[in-house]
Amino acid sequence: MSEKIAEQHEPPRGSAVVVYLGPVAPHWEIRSEFGDEKLIDGFRTRVSARLLLLPPHDPQFRRNRERVARDAERENLTLRWDLGIPDDDS
């Protein structure tokens, strides 16, 4: 079995929720649901840097959201988004 396939079956190492706080900066809060504190703190720092001044309607947000998702995938973290929009499919 290849290493990549084995990684896909490992349980998540942690979980984070990215919450949109509103139009006044800071726009985002990254909350940990479970996982190693150092791992989550590093992830939180990278996500904050990517989203610092971006509200969800900014065109750059979509690209950075995809980068955040890839980062979570690399770290084997589950990721949820709370954009404050009912029935958000994220």
Q: How many residues does the chain have?
A: 90
Average pLDDT of the chain, as a whole number: 86
pTM of the shown model: 0.78
Q: pLDDT tens-digit profile of 23-70?
A: 887 889 999 999 999 999 999 999 999 998 888 989 999 999 999 999
Q: Rounded to whole angstroms, what are the CA distances from 14 to 3, 42, 54?
A: 20, 12, 25
Cα–Cα dist 26/4, whole Å: 36
What are the two backbone dihedrals, phi and then psi, of residue 63, each rounded to the nearest 5 degrees?
-65, -45
**How far is residue 51's CA from residue 11's CA, in Å, rounded to a whole number?**
27
Is the pLDDT score of 16 beyond 90?
yes
How far is residue 36's CA from residue 12's CA, in Å, rounded to a whole number? 11
Q: Which residue, among 21, 85, 79, 82, has the nearest Cα to 54 in the 3D structure?
A: 21
